[in-house]
């Protein structure tokens, strides 16, 4: 009993020493990473000053609306008055998330970050409301290397990319857009991304090949080398090829992993980008090597598909590095765990079970259960 009382006393003193609302911002021991989560209804905003010396900074708004701040912030103020302060910030990577932000405020922040050395910006779970006038000076925002957007919605719909682009200096190399709400870009308003080498449109299951055509604004990505389309609703390699051809995009690497791809036996011929040398078709549920792949590749990843037998050389492009791991023809016992034949066998690891599942795999290969 005494011990329980002692514990209770201790807890009470602790509760007194540490107030119920924790400080929203935390700086790590090395002073490199600083994370603020303003999820409290009455957060201490000035806690953010803790982050002025950090390199990696993350601000989360706890899902709140920042609209009422607009009255207090003068977004039209001459940012040069903050210039020296912002220039002194060592921020390299900044993440802003979990909030509803008026467009004038977001772009006001970008304008201010134009004085900083920021290299990477991530926006996630943001709802950008309203619209704003274009900047007086082109590209007055930060000179970013990498811009990542995840689940950002814009009141301006398909015009958002062109609008956001106006604030960025033209050196952007990596652009990633996940869980987008609109890819219906107004391409005539989008300007050229002269240095963009990597475009990542992964994690947009609604995109599809039609959406890809409208997202790949023709001749706006002249330096593109890598296009990632993981889990982006792609259906056939030849459909993707047609979309690339329609946008006359040149590429070296294409990642189509994590889509459920169909083979299209009667697909019309399509010319792949001439420099394409790496194609990732892993985790795409393929049951055979699709027809109409590029004739020659350095890397072809066909791992973790449903290939029942080793592909014949005449079914494959001329390829230096071929990956086939995780296909049922290599692991027959794993195949019997799948339901695609309607035959379900427990993964028993006796030699008999392996033999039986091997026979089932052969039958499936012969199409007997198809
Ligand atoms: C912020 O804090 C809230 C409440 O504790 C939590 O639910 C949320 O996941 C946190 N957000 C981040 C990005 O850590
Ligand atoms: C708010 O944060 C600042 C900076 O960390 C601190 O000095 C101040 O005491 C805090 N105010 C409250 C009410 O906790
Ligand atoms: C996307 O962002 C909105 C806020 O704009 C948030 O309410 C929603 O939960 C987010 N969705 C996901 C899947 O994180
Ligand atoms: C895409 O945007 C164009 C105008 O830029 C509009 O006419 C069209 O209806 C939009 N399509 C969708 C599906 O939103
Ligand atoms: C292909 O994609 C998978 C899954 O996204 C990834 O694990 C793998 O490393 C990629 N292969 C190559 C050759 O990059
Ligand atoms: C396989 O079938 C079992 C029982 O019929 C079912 O519970 C399971 O979800 C199925 N798995 C897949 C991957 O479809």
Query: Measured from the CB, is residue 127 less than 6 Å from ligand 3?
Result: yes
Query: Measured from the CB, is residue 301 less than 6 Å from ligand 5?
Result: yes
- pLDDT at residue 80, as a whole number: 73
Query: Measured from the CB, is residue 231 less than 6 Å from ligand 5?
Result: no
Query: Measured from the CB, is residue 46 less than 6 Å from ligand 2?
Result: yes
State which ligand 2 atom lies nearest to the alpha carbon of 25: 5
Which-ligand-closest: CA of 337?
6
Query: Measured from the CB, is residue 60 less than 6 Å from ligand 1?
Result: yes
Query: Could you tell me if 360 and 343 are in contact, meaning their C-beta atoms sit under 8 angstroms apart?
Result: yes
What is the distance in A from the centroid of ligand 5 to the CA of 279? Answer: 9
Query: Measured from the CB, is residue 257 less than 6 Å from ligand 5?
Result: yes
Residue 83 pLDDT > 90, yes or no?
Answer: no
Q: What is the separation of C-alpha 182 from the centre of its chain, rounded to a whole number of angstroms? A: 14
What is the distance in A from the centroid of ligand 4 to the CA of 171? Answer: 29
Instruction: Taking residues 296-302, report their average pLDDT.
Output: 98
Residue 266 pLDDT > 60, yes or no?
Answer: no
- pLDDT at residue 73, as a whole number: 66
Query: Measured from the CB, is residue 44 less than 6 Å from ligand 2?
Result: yes
Residue 64 pLDDT > 60, yes or no?
Answer: yes
Query: Measured from the CB, is residue 214 less than 6 Å from ligand 1?
Result: no
Which-ligand-closest: CA of 149?
3
Query: Measured from the CB, is residue 230 less than 6 Å from ligand 5?
Result: yes
Reading the block at residue 48, the tokens are 């953010």
> Which residues are CB-contacts of 173 (< 8 A; sequence separation ≥ 6)?
145, 146, 195, 196, 197, 198
Residue 162 pLDDT > 80, yes or no?
Answer: yes
153, β-bridge pairs: 127
| Per-chain mean pLDDT for the chain | 85
Lowest mean pLDDT among 33-37, 81-85, 107-111, 316-320: 81-85
Tens-place pLDDT, residues 87-105: 999 999 999 999 999 999 9
For domain 21-169, the CATH superfamily is Ribonuclease Inhibitor (3.80.10.10)
What is the distance in A from the centroid of ligand 5 to the CA of 326? Answer: 12
Query: Measured from the CB, is residue 88 less than 6 Å from ligand 1?
Result: no
Query: Measured from the CB, is residue 182 less than 6 Å from ligand 4?
Result: no
Given ligand 3 and candidates 64, 98, 151, 155, which is best to mutate, with the most ligand atoms within 8 Å of its CB? 151
95, β-bridge pairs: 58, 122
Which residue intervals of the chain bear CATH 3.80.10.10? 21-169, 197-331
Given ligand 2 and candidates 25, 38, 44, 51, which is best to mutate, with the most ligand atoms within 8 Å of its CB? 44
152, β-bridge pairs: 126
Query: Measured from the CB, is residue 25 less than 6 Å from ligand 2?
Result: no
Name the residue with the closest Cα to ligand 3, atom 6.
125
DSSP character string of 81-138: HHHHHHHT----EEEEEEEEEEHHHHHHHHHHHTTS---EEEEEEEEEES--PPPSST
Element (H, E) at 174: strand 174-178
What is the 8-class DSSP label of residue 257?
T
Reading the block at residue 79, the tokens are 């940012």
Query: Measured from the CB, is residue 37 less than 6 Å from ligand 1?
Result: yes
Report, at the CATH architecture level, how domain 197-331 is classified. Answer: Alpha-Beta Horseshoe (3.80)
- Per-residue pLDDT band at 23 (split at 50, 70, 90): confident
- pLDDT at residue 310, as a whole number: 95
Name the residue with the closest Cα to ligand 6, atom 8.
339
Q: Are strands 296-301 and 146-154 parallel, antiparallel or unpaired?
A: unpaired
Instruction: Taking residues 323-334, report their average pLDDT.
Output: 84
Q: Which residue has the higher pLDDT, 65 or 147?
A: 147
Measured distance CA(151)–CA(171) in Å, rounded: 24
| Separation in Å, CA 185 to CA 46, 90, 282, 368 | 38, 34, 29, 47
- pLDDT at residue 332, as a whole number: 61
Name the residue with the closest Cα to ligand 5, atom 5.
257
């Amino acid at each position: 009993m005494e011990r329980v009382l002692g514990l209770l006393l201790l807890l009470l003193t602790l509760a007194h020493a540490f107030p119920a609302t924790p400080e929203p911002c935390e700086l790590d021991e090395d002073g490199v990473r600083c994370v603020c989560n303003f999820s409290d209804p009455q957060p201490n905003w000035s806690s953010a000053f803790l982050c002025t010396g950090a390199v990696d900074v993350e601000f989360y708004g706890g899902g709140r609306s920042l609209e009422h701040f607009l009255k207090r912030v003068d977004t039209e103020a001459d940012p040069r008055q903050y210039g020296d302060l912002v220039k002194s910030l060592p921020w390299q990577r900044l993440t802003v998330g979990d909030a509803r932000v008026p467009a004038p405020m977001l772009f006001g922040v970008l304008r201010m970050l134009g004085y900083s050395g920021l290299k990477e910006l991530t926006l996630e779970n943001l709802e950008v409301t309203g619209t704003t006038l274009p900047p007086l000076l082109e590209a007055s925002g930060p000179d970013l290397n990498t811009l990542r957007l995840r689940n950002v919605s814009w009141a301006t719909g398909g015009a958002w990319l062109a609008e956001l682009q106006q604030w960025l200096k033209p050196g952007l190399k990596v652009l990633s857009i996940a869980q987008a709400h609109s890819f219906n870009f107004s391409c005539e308003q989008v300007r050229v991304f002269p240095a963009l080498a990597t475009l990542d449109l992964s994690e947009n299951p609604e995109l599809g090949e039609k959406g890809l055509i409208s997202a790949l604004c023709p001749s706006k990505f002249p330096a593109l080398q890598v296009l990632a389309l993981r889990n982006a609703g792609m259906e056939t390699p030849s459909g993707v090829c047609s979309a690339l051809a329609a946008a006359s995009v040149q590429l070296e690497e294409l990642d189509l992993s994590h889509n459920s791809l169909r083979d299209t036996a009667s697909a019309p011929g399509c010319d792949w980008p001439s420099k394409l040398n790496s194609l990732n078709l892993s985790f795409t549920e393929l049951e055979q090597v699709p027809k109409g792949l590029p004739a020659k590749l350095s890397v072809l990843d066909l791992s973790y598909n449903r290939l029942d037998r080793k592909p014949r050389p005449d079914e494959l492009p001329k390829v230096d590095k071929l990956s086939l791991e995780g296909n049922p023809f290599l692991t027959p016992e794993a195949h019997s765990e799948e339901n695609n034949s309607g035959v379900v066998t427990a993964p028993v690891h006796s030699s008999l079970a392996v033999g039986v599942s091997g026979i089932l795999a052969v039958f499936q290969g012969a199409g007997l259960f198809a």
